Chain A
């Protein structure tokens, strides 16, 4: 993925929208900034395929040794695929968070929420936070 083409939540999830057979499919992950802030990740809970997710609501969790962070969905729809291998190989999130580190794919059922940030805006937010 080209990080400049992605949209971001202020909660550090990224989303990339493509179209397959007329259906909009969102690929969702977490940003390199988030991975760095969370430090050594130890566990991730993925949603199940077929689950409904709602923009702005939790769809999973990621844990470091002494912290739990909810993952918030950037989009509303139904989960069509999850990255099954990811929980057993969390280092991928450090090395390749925008490609091999994708978390789930969602068949979008509603328009994207209008509070998603573009790359520049997200970079600004991260700059302020660090």
Chain B
């Protein structure tokens, strides 16, 4: 019992004050028939030293990306995390506090939320951001639910096939129980044939799952003509260069915020970003910090528009979300602050240039060809003419290269295709090595 203080003598005193003979007696309210009459069948306790060596053993059985060169992406990216992010987020006053229900002793967290919301608006060009959701995928589904609530159209939503396959699976799961029809179209040019007055929203991802940049503005016009809303899932890093979704007519922006200062963490916890146009703020799920003044007229921040939330509205709430990803919103706020406008521009430019260099080098090899001619950002698809992605990945692994993501696991027609991500962390030497190994 490493984390409790009271001595047996103190416990005795406490029992006396309570008027109980024993700790067991405090559990008398639980009928004996319900009590567990044996110890839990879990391994015995480990001290800190033993735990450390046990965990070291488990950690050693994993290949981590600091010992390998990572070209894996598909929604989770190996971007540079400045030391200030880790240092600040490790402060106990941040990570051992909770939701700021008492604003007088939570101004730190509330101001961080307010700054995060502002930074996300500046980055995306949207009017309002919430204080975070779980991850990019659940943010996408929450946005579609929100669009249904705004448009009051609950019979149909449309999702592009180039949206992250796992996000599409989440949408399928959620809407299966509600009964809204989810129509999937292969690309934006097919939208016209399925868009109609019963459509609540269209979900587009840009850069899409294959790395390609979509013409969001044109899609937005089409979608709005049908009276539907456009939900766009974006890569926040790309907004160092690409047109902001708020400037392109998007109604609700969602994103996986992991790229903004969070390591890979085997997929989570990450950061669900969601921002929308001003007029939808009362349908926005999740927490919001707002500016106000205190009794003495001093500027301060509080949780606001709480009537949207489950603890007040219960079965009529816009969402059931309670705990969010505060710590990762903090990381994103620190990251965006330290990067600034030029840092974001530089990261995006490095990603773009390096990805294009890698793509050009790889497709110059006889074995590979590119598919499609869509402009791309930091990720691209190559087709292996020998149709042996598994073999390629194994070979690359021998050289400590994580070469890319096998697309066949989601798209049977792309079983000979590899998705390669190149971030600002990759050097020309590492890219050349990848080309050499895959080409040999």
Direct contact, A vs B (beta carbon within 8 Å): yes
Check: A91 CB closer than 8 A to any chain B CB.
no
Residue of B nearest to A69 (CB): B307
Residue of A nearest to B302 (CB): A65
Interface of A is mostly: strand
Query: Are A66 and B282 interface neighbours, CB within 8 A?
Result: no
Chain B 268-303 interface residues, beta-carbon cutoff 8 Å to A: 282
Scoring B282, B306, B307, B312 by chain A CB atoms within 10 A of each residue's CB, the highest score goes to B307
Query: Are B282 and A68 interface neighbours, CB within 8 A?
Result: no
Interface of B is mostly: helix
Alpha-carbon distance A67/B309, docked complex (angstroms): 10
Query: Are A43 and B282 interface neighbours, CB within 8 A?
Result: yes
Check: A118 CB closer than 8 A to any chain B CB.
no
Number of B interface residues at 8 Å Cβ cutoff, please give it: 6
Check: A10 CB closer than 8 A to any chain B CB.
no
Check: B54 CB closer than 8 A to any chain A CB.
no
Alpha-carbon distance A16/B335, docked complex (angstroms): 59
Residue of B nearest to A64 (CB): B307
Chain B 37-56 interface residues, beta-carbon cutoff 8 Å to A: none
Alpha-carbon distance A41/B199, docked complex (angstroms): 35
Query: Are B282 and A67 interface neighbours, CB within 8 A?
Result: no
Residue of B nearest to A63 (CB): B307
Chain A 23-74 interface residues, beta-carbon cutoff 8 Å to B: 43, 63-68
Alpha-carbon distance A97/B226, docked complex (angstroms): 40
CB distance from A121 to the nearest CB of B (A): 30
Scoring A66, A67, A68 by chain B CB atoms within 10 A of each residue's CB, the highest score goes to A68
Chain B 304-321 interface residues, beta-carbon cutoff 8 Å to A: 306-307, 312-313, 316
Residues of A contacting B313 in the complex (Cβ-Cβ under 8 angstroms): 68
Residues of A contacting B307 in the complex (Cβ-Cβ under 8 angstroms): 43, 63-68
CB distance from A53 to the nearest CB of B (A): 16
Query: Are B282 and A65 interface neighbours, CB within 8 A?
Result: no
Residues of A contacting B312 in the complex (Cβ-Cβ under 8 angstroms): 66-68
Alpha-carbon distance A43/B304, docked complex (angstroms): 12
Alpha-carbon distance A68/B306, docked complex (angstroms): 10
Alpha-carbon distance A65/B312, docked complex (angstroms): 10
Residue of A nearest to B314 (CB): A68
Residues of B contacting A64 in the complex (Cβ-Cβ under 8 angstroms): 307
Alpha-carbon distance A66/B314, docked complex (angstroms): 12
Residue of B nearest to A45 (CB): B282
Alpha-carbon distance A65/B316, docked complex (angstroms): 16
Residues of B contacting A43 in the complex (Cβ-Cβ under 8 angstroms): 282, 307
Residues of A contacting B282 in the complex (Cβ-Cβ under 8 angstroms): 43
Residues of B within 8 A of A (CB): 282, 306-307, 312-313, 316
A sample of 15 cross-chain residue pairs with beta-carbon separation below 8 angstroms, ordered by A number, consists of A43-B282, A43-B307, A63-B307, A64-B307, A65-B306, A65-B307, A66-B306, A66-B307, A66-B312, A67-B307, A67-B312, A68-B307, A68-B312, A68-B313, A68-B316
In the complex, the 3 A-B pairs of residues with the closest C-beta atoms, listed nearest first? A63-B307, A68-B307, A68-B313
Q: A64-B307, A65-B306, A66-B312 are in contact. List 12 more A-B contacts (CB 8 A).
A: A43-B282, A43-B307, A63-B307, A65-B307, A66-B306, A66-B307, A67-B307, A67-B312, A68-B307, A68-B312, A68-B313, A68-B316
